[in-house]
């Protein structure tokens, strides 16, 4: 089955530093990847849609300069939280769409998530 990995699974950093989170599709090509943020006991909120080779599309209210997304290959997208602050502490989840499955609906597969804690 399609597998999406995220690295790291958790990270603790100091306020003001930048953190990069990787999302990889391990056994399929993903032209589109999505980044979600989930605060404790809340739902998943889409942050941005990342298309391979082009700029990400950010949802309203998400700061582009703070959450840098790069989707340079068909199997890797990265989310960089720049100048992180305690309010950025959250659970970040990526998902990837498989264009090659041949199904009428291109499935979206989720990574295991990355828990970011900013001190």
- Convert residues 10-49 into a mask of x (bound to other proteins by CB under 8 A) and - (unbound): ----------------------x-x------xxxxxx--x
Report the residue number, 36 or 88, with the smaller CB distance to other proteins: 36
- Report the distance separating Cα 14 and Cα 6, nearest Å: 21
The nearest distance, CB 103 to other proteins, in angstroms, is: 10
* Using rule CB under 8 A, residue 110 touches other proteins: yes
Contacting residues for 92 by C-beta, under 8 A, at least 6 apart: 6, 21, 35, 36, 37, 38, 79, 113, 114, 115, 116
Q: Do 118 and 13 form a contact (C-beta atoms < 8 A)?
A: yes
User: Which DSSP symbol is given to 55?
Assistant: P
Q: Do 73 and 52 form a contact (C-beta atoms < 8 A)?
A: yes
* Using rule CB under 8 A, residue 8 touches other proteins: no
* Using rule CB under 8 A, residue 93 touches other proteins: yes
Residue entry with tokens 């399929």: 28
* Using rule CB under 8 A, residue 106 touches other proteins: yes
* Using rule CB under 8 A, residue 51 touches other proteins: yes
The nearest distance, CB 118 to other proteins, in angstroms, is: 18
- Report the distance separating Cα 41 and Cα 110, nearest Å: 19
Q: Which residues here bind other proteins, judged by CB under 8 A? A: 32, 34, 41-46, 49, 51, 57, 91, 93, 95, 97, 105-106, 108, 110-113, 115
């Amino acid at each position: 089955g399609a597998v999406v990995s995220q690295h790291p699974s958790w990270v603790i950093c100091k306020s003001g530093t930048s953190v990069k989170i990787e999302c990889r599709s391990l056994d399929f090509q993903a032209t589109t990847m999505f980044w979600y943020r989930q605060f404790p006991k809340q739902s998943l909120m889409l942050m941005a849609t990342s298309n391979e080779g082009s700029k990400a599309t950010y949802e309203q209210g998400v700061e582009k300069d703070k959450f840098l997304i790069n989707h340079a290959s068909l199997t890797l997208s990265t989310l960089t939280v720049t100048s992180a602050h305690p309010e950025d502490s959250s659970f970040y989840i990526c998902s990837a769409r498989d264009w090659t499955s041949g199904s009428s609906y291109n499935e979206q597969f989720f990574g295991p998530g990355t828990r970011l804690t900013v001190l």
